[in-house]
Amino acid sequence: MKSKTLRSRRGDRSRDKFHDECGVVAIYGHPEAANLAYLGLYALQHRGQESAGICSSDGRAIHCHKSMGHVADIFTPEVLGRLPGDHAIGHTRYSTAGDTVLLNAQPFSVSCNKGRIAVAHNGNITNAAELRRELEREGSIFQASSDTEVILHLVARSRERTLSGALREALMQLEGAFSLVFLAEDRILVARDPHGFRPLAFGQMELPDGRRAYVFASETCAFDLITAVYLGDVEPGEMVIAGPEGITRERYAPVRPRAQCVFEHVYFSRPDSVVFGRPVEQSRENLGRLLAREAPVEADVVVPVPDSGVAAAIGYAAESKIPFRQALIRNHYVGRTFIEPSQAIRDFGVKLKLNPVRHLLEGKRVILVDDSIVRGTTSRKIVRMVRGAGAREVHLRISCPPTISPCFYGVDTPCVAELIAASNGVEQIRRFVEADSLAYLSLGALREAVADRGDYCYACYTGNYPTELVNIEELMASKDRRG
């Protein structure tokens, strides 16, 4: 295994956004498979809000529906009624703006010599561009720009006779991060990359007639909603098949060092989920406690930036014995369509989402806790908002180390040029966000908070990528384009 350290690079800063963040779900052997996939996606909505899709199988044919928008708006009872069968997979995606987007919505489905198959993917395949060029040279035609389509082509053109054989062969050619769910007419196949970057939980449900249904999801909060029992995780480098013969688990790749995404615990997953076998809320509260030990400051109140900073702020307040106050209130109903005022209102975007509780802040020394600073622009608006509501001092505390490197394994971080901590020290960032003081958590404390035994990826904080990125220039350029 090689790792690569990056230094700052600059590039084109167009705003053509293309995120990799996603949630996946799969259901095997339940008469209401599509309804359960829908509920699972509903619980995973935070992992992607731009498009969603479900494919179901009734044993004879695969039925699909995908669309732009939120899960609850896309899947009406009428749409779900058109997704019959006992098996289903679903996907929710954070994606592009523009008219090619629906083409990239997942699941993808094709007919090939292995029958009709559909796939949904969370993660980012770092050698997708090379694989795609090779496939195109050999005559494959691509409809979308998503790296997930590459997987389908690899499976379809494999000479292996069985679907599991073809999938194994395809998986061995992929590099990077993938938690995949496949649907065939009579089975579900799921797999996780050998480093285990992205989560994939495994659970089961008892049917009234005593049969068992099997479920897979990015996070266990999806199981809670459908009252499935969490059995554990699909292991890194493991393929699990649920079919008429029962459950088959096999290791398709040699053991590699684990590289679970620590940002799932810092920000991305829901705090009520168990991710990589560990409660996310527990990690976040630890982050806050350790932050209070490492970066104490005299103050009157600890205030979280909702929702991402709440659990860490609870930990900070408990450790520092400074009262916790919800002095910023979030409007949870902010949609994508709103009427912008004709006259410019300062910081309109952040005001739509957050509003300060003035009497909790007036004249107070405030410790503001958030999970991360990416570009720094949101933090600056929030610091201004808190000061504007009368705070005497604003001390910003961040529950992870400075984000200095883009993620190539499925988290949407912008290019290096836009990451404020890639080219600025803490004091410069403090000035930019206009806080009285600023402190980040140390890498050592982050490790301690997630009880790491060498199992996590910290590339966004260190620039040490756990896999060899042969096409690093191309990957960086794609981040630049994605913005």
Q: Which is nearer to ligand AMP, 148 or 379 (CB)?
A: 379
Quick one: tokens of 289? 């406690």
Looking at residues 43 to 72 of the shown chain, list those that interact with ligand AMP (rule: CB under 6 A). Answer: none
Cβ 273 to ligand AMP shortest distance, Å: 17
Q: Which stretch binds ligand AMP (CB under 6 A): 123-131, 153-161, 364-372, 383-391?
A: 364-372
Owner of token pair 């209130």? 329
Q: Residue 239: what residue type?
A: M
Asked whether position 20 contacts ligand AMP by CB under 6 A, the answer is no
Cβ 160 to ligand AMP shortest distance, Å: 37
Quick one: tokens of 147? 């790296």
Binding residue for ligand AMP (CB under 6 A) from 86, 219, 264, 412?
Answer: 412
Asked whether position 375 contacts ligand AMP by CB under 6 A, the answer is yes
Q: Which stretch binds ligand AMP (CB under 6 A): 39-47, 125-133, 291-299, 408-416?
A: 408-416
- Three-state secondary-structure class, residue 238: strand
Looking at residues 285 to 314 of the shown chain, list those that interact with ligand AMP (rule: CB under 6 A). Answer: 305, 308
Cβ 121 to ligand AMP shortest distance, Å: 17
Cβ 49 to ligand AMP shortest distance, Å: 10
Decide if 56 contacts 37 (C-beta within 8 A): yes
Distance CA(124)–CA(4), nearest Å, equals 17
Site string for ligand AMP, 254-283 (x = CB under 6 A): -------------x----------------
Buried b (16+ CB within 10 A) or exposed e, 149-187: bbbbbbbbbbeeeebbebbbbbbeebbbbbbbbbbbbeb
Q: Which stretch binds ligand AMP (CB under 6 A): 60-68, 311-319, 366-374, 439-447?
A: 366-374
Decide if 478 contacts 269 (C-beta within 8 A): no
Kindly name the residue from 22, 55, 261, 400 that is annotated as catalytic.
Answer: 22
Q: Which is nearer to ligand AMP, 179 or 413 (CB)?
A: 413
Binding residue for ligand AMP (CB under 6 A) from 148, 179, 378, 405?
Answer: 378
User: Has 22 been annotated as catalytic?
Assistant: yes
Distance CA(341)–CA(343), nearest Å, equals 5
DSSP summary character for residue 323: P
Q: Which is nearer to ligand AMP, 220 or 378 (CB)?
A: 378
Decide if 223 contacts 26 (C-beta within 8 A): no
Site string for ligand AMP, 140-179 (x = CB under 6 A): ----------------------------------------
Quick one: tokens of 155? 């499976």
- Three-state secondary-structure class, residue 346: coil
Asked whether position 428 contacts ligand AMP by CB under 6 A, the answer is no
Quick one: tokens of 283? 């990690």
Q: Which is nearer to ligand AMP, 296 or 376 (CB)?
A: 376
Cβ 433 to ligand AMP shortest distance, Å: 8
Buried b (16+ CB within 10 A) or exposed e, 332-361: eeeeeeeeeeeeeeebeebeebbebeeebb
- For the chain, report the end-to-end CA distance as a whole number of angstroms: 29
Any idea which residues carry the catalytic annotation?
Answer: 22
- Summarize as ranges the residues that interact with ligand AMP (CB under 6 A): 267, 305, 308, 370-379, 411-413
